[in-house]
């Protein structure tokens, strides 16, 4: 893998300092009160893990070519910070682009060789708590690799379905897959890989999940502005989110690799989160309080909005 330059070593050293400050403030922020039912989750996105088959210099520009070679230490740093927090994070959710592209279109290749899929799993297996994997555009290659092959690989390697709901402590956590609709079908007349769509089956499934009226956190890789609002007459993701905004506290996306706050543009609060590819401090730490039906984005004051980056906490 890549050798550390002075610049990248300095970045990782700064990340270590940030981690120490984060742990210090975490201990103060989340001091548990007796009898509290609060619990804590973490979100990460766009980890973009590579392997020895990766061709260096194949990205767009200097920043992208540098960052892709540091995805492993940066994800490892984020993982180790999340593992270190006390009270403990109980669940981790990864919002897609788990690995970076496909080195082969041959299914068997991934079982004859150690690839970026195996490298990604080896890192995330190091989390001390369960991690739930979602799908990003780099986890597919909709122009060249059949989506069915990607689904087979995810099931075989990660035991992960194309979309899923996870029920935990009275809450529902849903990862939607915006790569299953017609805009991601290379044989469809409206094929456009830059536009997400869910397809009718998934939309109906999501509507059924929301009909249970549990508070539901929603994760989807593309930001909502890049997902078709409606797909079948007036039926689509945006109307569903607005209809059920009272029971959806939060919608979080990745893909853009920067922190963006869309507030309530689409009904529920909607954030785009940054990528561990560019910053090992790009994680969201959420406190969920069932007794008050609320949540807190605990490290929101770390965020440098509209950039790749987060700042360390500062003591009062």
Here the CATH number for the domain that contains residue 94 is 3.60.21.10
Pairwise CA distance, residues 250 & 264, whole Å: 9
Is 26 contained in some domain? no
pLDDT at 217: 99
pLDDT of residue 109: 98
pLDDT at 311: 75
Tell me how many domains the chain contains: 1
Does 9 fall in a domain? no
- Condensed to tens digits (0 to 9), the pLDDT of residues 96-146 reads 999 999 999 999 999 999 999 999 999 999 999 999 999 999 999 999 999
Does residue 176 lie in a domain region? yes
Residue 105 CB coordination number (10 Å): 11
Cβ proximity of 291 and 37 under 8 Å: yes
Q: Is residue 253 scored above 70 in pLDDT?
A: yes
pLDDT at 3: 47
pLDDT of 233 higher than 80: yes
For residue 174, give the nearest of 219, 213, 207 by alpha carbon.
219
User: Does the residue 7 lie in any domain?
Assistant: no
Domain presence at residue 314: no
Q: Read off the pTM.
A: 0.91
Is residue 273 packed enough to be buried (19+ CB in 10 Å), middle (13-18) or exposed (0-12)? buried
Q: Which domain holds residue 192?
A: 40-302
């Amino acid at each position: 893998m890549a050798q550390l330059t002075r610049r990248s070593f300095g970045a990782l050293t700064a990340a270590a300092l940030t981690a120490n400050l984060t742990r210090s403030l975490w201990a103060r922020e989340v001091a548990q009160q007796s009898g509290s039912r609060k619990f804590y989750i973490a979100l990460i996105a766009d980890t973009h893990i590579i392997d020895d088959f990766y061709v260096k210099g194949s990205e767009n520009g200097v920043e992208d070519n540098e960052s892709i070679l540091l995805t492993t230490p940066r994800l490892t740093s984020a993982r180790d910070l999340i593992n270190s927090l006390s009270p403990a994070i109980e669940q981790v959710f990864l919002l897609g682009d788990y690995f970076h592209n496909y080195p082969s279109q041959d299914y068997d290749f991934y079982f004859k060789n150690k690839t970026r899929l195996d490298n990604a799993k080896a890192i995330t297996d190091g989390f001390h708590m369960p991690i739930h994997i979602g799908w990003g555009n780099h986890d597919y290659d909709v122009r060249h690799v059949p989506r069915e092959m990607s689904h087979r690989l995810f099931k075989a390697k990660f035991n992960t379905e194309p979309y899923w709901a996870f029920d935990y402590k009275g809450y529902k956590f849903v990862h939607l897959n915006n790569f299953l609709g017609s805009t991601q079908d290379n044989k469809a007349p409206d094929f456009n890989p830059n536009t997400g769509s869910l397809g009718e089956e998934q939309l109906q499934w999501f509507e059924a999940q929301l009909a249970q009226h549990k508070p539901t956190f929603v994760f989807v890789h593309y930001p909502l502005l890049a997902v078709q609002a409606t797909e079948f007459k007036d039926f689509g993701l945006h109307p569903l989110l607005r209809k059920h905004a009272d029971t959806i506290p939060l919608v979080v996306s990745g893909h853009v690799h920067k922190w963006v706050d869309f507030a309530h543009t689409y009904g529920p609060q909607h954030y785009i989160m940054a990528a561990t590819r560019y910053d090992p401090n790009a994680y969201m730490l959420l406190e969920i309080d069932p007794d008050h039906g609320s949540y807190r984005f605990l490290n929101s004051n770390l965020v440098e909005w509209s950039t790749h980056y987060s700042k360390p906490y500062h003591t009062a």
